[in-house]
Structure 1
Amino acid sequence: MLARLQRAFTLWLVFTAAGWAAVWATRGRPGVAVAGAALCLFGYALVLAVECLLAAWANRRDPAPPATAVQWLRAWWGEVCTAPRVFNWRQPFFSNRVPDAPQGRGRRGVVFVHGFLCNRGFWTPWLERCRDEGIPFVAVNLEPVFGRIDEYVEIVEAAVRRIEAGTGLAPVLVAHSMGGLAVRAWLQARQADARVHRVVTIGSPHRGTFLARHARASNARQMRWGSRWIEALAAAEPPQRYRRFTCLYGHCDNIVFPASTAVLPGARTVHLEGVAHVAMAFHPVVWEEVKRALRAAPSWVSGEPAGGRRPAPGGLPEDPRGGSRFS
C-alpha cells in the first residue's frame, strides 16, 4: 500500500512541476517557471531545514555531544540527497527488487525492520550487500502503515520464524526508527529473548521524540516523547534485555530528538556525528556494528555490554564526549 501511495505522490510531483514550468514558459516567464518547478521538486529541503532547527533547539540540554553549525549543514545536505532516493525511488518503485533469502543452514541471519512511512525497499542497499556476502535475511513490510505499533508484532514474529527455519539460529534484528519500537513490542509480547542473538537499532525513538508531539496517526502518537505507551513498554521490560541492544544515535537526527531518546540504559551505544535520520541508516559504521553482532558469541549478551564502559542510567556513556563517536 505504501509503495502505491509514494509512487502516486512522486508522479504527481513530477507532473505538477512539469506542468507549472510549461505553463509559465509559454507565457514568457522562464524565471517563474523554473522557480515554481524547483519549489515542487525541492521544497522538501526547506522542511528538512526546519526539522534540523527544531532538533538543534531540543538538543540544547541533551547529554549527547553538541553539534556544530558545520555538522548540521553537512547532515542537512546529506538528508537532502538521501531522502529522494529512499522515498521517491527505492520504496515506491523497487520495494521488492531484492527478494528475501532466509536460507543458510548454520549461518546467522538478519531480520530488517523499517521505520515510519517506509517499506522493505528502504533496506535495498543492505539487502544487496547481504545477498552478495551470503548472509541470510528477511525484510518486513510493517502494515497497516498508520496502525498501532502493537499490530506489527505478528509481522516481526513471522520474519523471525522464517530465519529460524532457514538457518537454525537466532537472528540479529536490525531496526531503523520506529522499527526499534516494533522489535521491542515483539520481544515483550512473545517473551522472545532466547530467540534473538542481538538487536541493532538506528535512530529509534526508544523514549519517544519531540517531533511527534502533535502527530495524529496511531503509531506516531505512540512515539510521542514520554508517551504512555512507551512508558508502559519500558516498565514491563526486564532491564537485562537491553544488554542485547546496540543503539546508534546522532546529535544531528532531525526526526528523533532530543538525541539521547534514541538510546536504552545498559545497551551498547554508538554516536554518529553530522548525519541525519534517514542517512544514518546507511552510515558505514552501522554495517560494521551489524557484522560485529553477527560475529558475536552467544555469551556476549549475558554479561556487560560489549565494547566500551558501562553506560550511565540514561543510556549514554558517563562522559558523552568520551564514548564511541564517528564522523
Structure 2
Amino acid sequence: MRDRLAGLSPRRRVFVLTVGALALLLVGAVAGRVLIARSSGADAVAQDRPGPVLLVPGYGAGTGGLRVLAARLRSAGREAVVVEMPGDGTGDLREQARVLDRRVSEALRGGAPSVDVVAHSAGGVVARLWVREHDGAGKARRIVTLGSPHQGADLAAAGSALAPGACPEACRQLVPGSGLLRELGDRAPDPPRWVSVWTDDDETVRPEASRLPGATGVGVQEVCPDARVGHTGLPADPLVTAIVTRALDAGPPSPPGRGDCGAPRG
C-alpha cells in the first residue's frame, strides 16, 4: 500500500487517504449503530409471529407438569413440545443446551420463524446457556423461566459440600458462585425477551434466586396473595399457566397485577 501511495502525486495521495479515512469512519458508525441497537433491547426476531413453544425440564428431567402445561398451550392454539433431555437431566448443563439447540434447529428448518422457550427449574439455566452459546438471541422470541435457580441453588451447595459423590455435574454447576454461573453473569441477555416466574412457597429454590435482572419478574403471590404452589407444582398450576400464556402473547411481556387474580382461577 505504501509503495502504491508513493507513486501518486501529492494531491492524489491526499485524496486517497481522505477517502480511506471516511470509509473507516463509516464502518465505525455502522458498527456503533448495531451495538446501540443490541444494547437498547432491539428484537432480533419478529415479535408478532409466534413460533412453536419448546418446554425444557429441570434437574431430574421430570416432564409430567410440563406435559400438562403443553396440553393447555395447545388448547390455546399454540404448537407446544416438551424437550426430552438425555439420561436423568443431572449431567452437564451445556450438553442439555446442545440438545435444546438441536430441537430448535429442527423447528426452524421446518419453517418456524422463531421459537418460544418455557423452562422449569434448572431448565432456565439451560436456556440461558443456549442463548449464550448457540445464538439463541437470533432464534428465540420469548423465554419464560419457572422457579429457576438463576443465582444458584442452596440445595446444590449443601449436596456438593456434604455428599460430593452424590452431587453430579449439573448439581455442581448449580452451586451459587459456580464457574458456570459466573460465566452467565447476573443479567438476562437482551434480546430475547425474558420473563421470570417464582413462588414464595418454593421449597427447592429460594424465590430470590429465581429473580433475573433484565427479565420481567412475576411472583405468583404478587398476582394472587393466597396462591399456594411449590417448586414442582409450578408448570401444572392453572394460575402459572395463565401467567405463561400472557407472557407468550404477541404483545410485549407485562407482569399481571392483583386484579388479574380472579380470571386465571376461573
**TM-score, length-normalised on structure 2?**
0.67
Q: Which runs of 4+ in 1 moved over 4 A?
A: 322-327
1:54-203 paired onto structure 2 within 5 Å: 108-145=51-88, 146-203=90-147
Alpha-carbon distance change, 124 to 239 in structure 1, aligned in 2, over 3 angstroms: closer
Alpha-carbon distance change, 239 to 141 in structure 1, aligned in 2, over 3 angstroms: closer
Structure 2 unaligned spans of 5+ = 1-48, 160-166, 222-227
Alpha-carbon distance change, 226 to 164 in structure 1, aligned in 2, over 3 angstroms: same
Q: For residue 266 of structure 1, give the secondary structure of its aligned residue in structure 2.
A: coil
- Distance in 2, matches of 1:323 and 1:128, equals 26
- Distance in 1, matches of 2:213 and 2:245, equals 22
Judging by fraction of residues, say which structure has more helix. Answer: 1
Alpha-carbon distance change, 288 to 165 in structure 1, aligned in 2, over 3 angstroms: farther
Contact persistence 1:110–1:172 (CA under 8 A): yes
**TM-score, length-normalised on structure 1?**
0.55
- Distance in 2, matches of 1:179 and 1:192, equals 14
Alpha-carbon distance change, 276 to 289 in structure 1, aligned in 2, over 3 angstroms: same
- The one-letter code sitting in structure 1 at the alignment partner of 2:129 is A
Q: Is it true that 1:288 corresponds to 2:242 in the alignment? A: yes
- Distance in 1, matches of 2:196 and 2:172, equals 22
Question: Offset at 1:325?
Answer: 9.3
Aligned mate of 1:232, from 176, 179, 183: 183
2:254 aligned partner: 307
Question: Offset at 1:198?
Answer: 0.3
Alpha-carbon distance change, 262 to 182 in structure 1, aligned in 2, over 3 angstroms: same
Alpha-carbon distance change, 133 to 165 in structure 1, aligned in 2, over 3 angstroms: farther
Alpha-carbon distance change, 136 to 166 in structure 1, aligned in 2, over 3 angstroms: farther
Q: RMSD over aligned Cα, in angstroms?
A: 2.7
Contact persistence 2:68–2:235 (CA under 8 A): no
Q: Is it true that 1:214 corresponds to 2:158 in the alignment? A: yes
Cα deviation 1:229-266 (Å, max 9, x = unaligned): 2111117x77534x611100112100001x11101102
Tell me the matched-pair count. Answer: 200
1:256-267 paired onto structure 2 within 5 Å: 256-257=205-206, 259-267=207-215
- Distance in 1, matches of 2:210 and 2:56, equals 16
